[in-house]
């Protein structure tokens, strides 16, 4: 999925993904024949520390995905159309982790998304 962001949005993403490195993948990206890129393409790659934290939590059986995040991703694909949402479900492997509710009070304010 490629999306357009302006400089302010990119700065906000950098803050949100503070435990990830922003990596330019423009040279590794191919769009349809004759479709110009028009701008750099970047992705975020987790640093060693968050990977180690996740792997440790998973090994101890305490890793989980919050319902809020799970729904956020699912809703983003649904917003693109039901066909995109179905493709996301068909091509994304089950994470093998429980999806658990988390009270908003436990989530730092800077990480709170839209409330349902």
Segment (H or E) for 71: helix 67-79
Q: Chunked in runs of 10, what are the mean pLDDT values of the chain (116 residues)?
A: 86 94 91 76 94 93 90 92 93 90 59 47
Query: What is the C-alpha radius of gyration for the chain, rounded to an integer number of angstroms?
Result: 17
The SS3 call for residue 112 is coil
Angle, CA 114 vertex, CA 110 and CA 115 arms, to 5°: 110
**pLDDT in the model for residue 109:** 57
How far apart CA 16 and CA 51 sit, in angstroms, is: 16
* pTM exceeds cut of 0.75: no
How far apart CA 14 and CA 63 sit, in angstroms, is: 24
């Amino acid at each position: 999925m490629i999306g357009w962001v302006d400089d302010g949005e990119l700065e906000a993403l950098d803050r949100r993904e503070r435990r990830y490195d922003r990596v330019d993948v423009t040279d590794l990206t191919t769009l349809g024949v004759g479709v110009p890129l028009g701008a750099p393409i970047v992705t975020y790659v987790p640093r060693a520390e968050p990977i180690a934290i996740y792997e440790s939590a998973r090994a101890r059986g305490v890793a989980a995905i919050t319902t809020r995040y799970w729904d956020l991703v699912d809703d983003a694909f649904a917003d693109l159309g039901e066909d995109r949402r179905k493709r996301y479900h068909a091509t994304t492997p089950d994470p093998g982790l429980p999806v658990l509710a988390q009270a908003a009070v436990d989530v730092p304010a800077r990480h709170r998304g839209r409330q349902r």
